[in-house]
Structure 1
Amino acid sequence: MDRLPNPTWLRSFESAARHLNFTTTARELGLTQTAVSLHIRSLEAELGQKLFTRNARRLELTELGQSYSLTVRRSLADIALSTNSLFGPASRQTLTIRAAISTATYWIAAELPDFSLQHPEIPVRLVSHIWNDSIAPGDVDVEIRLGYGDWPGVISEKLTEEKLVPVSRAGGGLPTCNNLQKGPLIHILGYEDNWARYFQANNIAPPDQAPQHSVDTSVAALQLVMAGAGYATILERFARNVIRQGAPLEIKGPAIPFAQSHYLISTQGAAQPTAAAGLFCAWLRDRIALDAAV
């Protein structure tokens, strides 16, 4: 076979010839700047010619480097074209995110368009559920849970500090949270004490009557509220997202601290997260920090 330099060196050279910057090349190829520089030096040593002129502030192709870059670029493009034509485009790895149905509906789904705008190359599947054990851990890339962070067998990273607010249908005529005790009140199973905690925090005597409705998710609770069936307490994060999207809903009192938080979950001893999962988690932390700063 005729003389052929290391393909990895050629790939680094082609990218560096386009960008004329080793740092940008390293970012594009997922390498370190040191690795890119080593590839170029190795290729130059193999060819016995300088391909770049390294100045203090900029990188320039030599005449030989300019000519060679055109050939290398065309050759790599031909290989990519042939590969796609014969074997189809590279399959994209779908990022699967698992969250409770209320978290998925009223928080993550509302934020996902921004992630997809920043990373259009990553297809996303959002899996909602009610109970945490409804899907096997190996079926998801990122899991987000609401709780105290004390689940056995997992590593939890605290993401948020949550607050609780009372909500009513928009235009319902309730002027202050003091009137909420008149009901009707909607309870969410598993969080039946939220109303008692809310009234206590605001020095309001709790009502004596039983709740008019009890449901198992914040999704169902908000549907009842918007239908005019009563009032519910939900996370302020959820309420503001729903209102921002135009739902006929109003917050009817000050927020109080909520004991539970949202956590990123990883299984002890599990494999390293995928690159897509890492990008999503970094993006989510940035979004939370941005919301907290507002």
Structure 2
Amino acid sequence: MDRLPNPAWLRSFETAARHLNFTTTAKELGLTQTAVSLHIRSLEADLGQKLFTRNARRLELTELGQSYALTVRRALGDIALSTNSLFGPASRQTLTVRAAISTATYWIAAELPDFMARHPDIPVRLVSHIWNDTIAPKDVDVEIRMGYGDWPGVTSDKLTDETLVPVCQSGSPIPNLQTLHGSPLIHILGYEDNWARYFQAHGLPPAERAPLYSVDTSVAALQLVMAGAGCATIVERFARNAIAQGAPIRIAGPAIPFAQSHYLIAAPGTAQPSAAAGLFCAWLRERLALDAAG
């Protein structure tokens, strides 16, 4: 790295450049006046230039000091801005919620404005499982997974029962299940049997046509549906939220039960949930109860 003076010296210099008074600077930084004066002298010695002119009753910045103060102030401001943007203000505890990208996109994100309206003092960071390698389990406050609830090494608490529906582009002519049976089909990797299960539930054999597309998320499947590439089977909750958000898709057939559900996950040895996490989980269950009621 290129030459960089001691950050503590730079902070003292920037504050002193604003106040032009070492006593006031010391009060703002929680230091002694002697410590501030030592920081400034050390910085000047390191740079080989005077930054202040010390008069009997006041300080003045030299021309070099004025130019350097602008640069240092901008740099410290950028660091503060980035710190607050990424980690939040020190006085506020960010709630980190992790979910699969489809769950995050087509369920949790759609509901979050209601949570924020009720709890504006709790910043929420919503992350997907693609960040598993960069976010340690201990840094996740609430985790939501879809599956059978049989993950080893964790405690799972069932949140939902889900249903599955076929979706097609909003303008597609799909008058009945027979037409759907012969339409171009989109498969989601890991759920390749969803179409067969759907058709079986309605007394139809598996589709004979090979899938035109196979994708790894419901998000990608819905994008293909919106583009008119074919039809996909999607968790009904996701489909209805996507439609509510204006996605040009429609549900093309009746729902069937889906074997997988959403669960709240707790790892072994996890500390008691924070107050914010408790409020979030209670709010989520309340929203689900409202959905179930109509």
- TM-score, structure 2 normalization: 0.68
Residue of structure 2 equivalent to 1:263: 263
* Superposed CA offset, 1:169-216 (max 9, x none): 001111122211112100000000000000000111222121000000
* Superposed CA offset, 1:126-155 (max 9, x none): 001259777431121000000000111111
Query: Equivalent residue of 1:192, what SS?
Result: coil
d(CA) in 2 for partners of 1:244 and 1:130?
A: 26
d(CA) in 2 for partners of 1:228 and 1:116?
A: 35
Residue of structure 2 equivalent to 1:109: 109
**2:192 pairs with 1:175:** no
Query: Equivalent residue of 2:144, what SS?
Result: strand
Residue of structure 1 equivalent to 2:121: 121
Query: Equivalent residue of 2:157, what SS?
Result: strand
Query: Equivalent residue of 1:108, what SS?
Result: helix
Q: Residue type matched to 2:251 in 1?
A: I
Contact kept in structure 2, 1:148 and 1:259, CA below 8 Å: yes
Residue of structure 2 equivalent to 1:253: 253
- CA drift of 1:86 comes to 8.3
d(CA) in 2 for partners of 1:190 and 1:204?
A: 22
Contact kept in structure 2, 1:106 and 1:241, CA below 8 Å: yes
Cα distance change on mapping 1:187 and 1:238 into 2, 3 Å: same
Residue of structure 2 equivalent to 1:27: none
Compare 183-192 and 133-142 and name the one that shifted more: 133-142
Matches within 5 A, 1:276-291: 276-291=276-291
d(CA) in 2 for partners of 1:229 and 1:173?
A: 13
- CA drift of 1:90 comes to 5.8
Residue of structure 2 equivalent to 1:141: 141
Q: Residue type matched to 1:119 in 2?
A: H
Cα distance change on mapping 1:198 and 1:133 into 2, 3 Å: farther
Residue of structure 1 equivalent to 2:231: 231
Cα distance change on mapping 1:265 and 1:288 into 2, 3 Å: same
Paired residues, number: 209
Matches within 5 A, 1:55-74: none
Q: Residue type matched to 2:217 in 1?
A: T
Give unpaired runs (5+ residues) of structure 2.
1-27, 31-88
d(CA) in 1 for partners of 2:111 and 2:255?
A: 22
Give unpaired runs (5+ residues) of structure 1.
1-84
Percent identity for Structure 1 against Structure 2: 76
Residue of structure 1 equivalent to 2:217: 217
d(CA) in 2 for partners of 1:217 and 1:285?
A: 25
Residue of structure 2 equivalent to 1:161: 161
- CA drift of 1:223 comes to 0.2
- TM-score, structure 1 normalization: 0.68
- CA drift of 1:292 comes to 0.5
Cα distance change on mapping 1:103 and 1:122 into 2, 3 Å: same
Segments ≥4 residues shifted beyond 6 Å: 131-134
d(CA) in 2 for partners of 1:131 and 1:146?
A: 17
Query: Equivalent residue of 2:223, what SS?
Result: helix
Residue of structure 2 equivalent to 1:56: none
Query: Equivalent residue of 2:263, what SS?
Result: strand
d(CA) in 1 for partners of 2:29 and 2:134?
A: 40
Query: Equivalent residue of 2:156, what SS?
Result: strand
d(CA) in 1 for partners of 2:29 and 2:161?
A: 51
Aligned CA RMSD, in angstroms, stands at 1.8
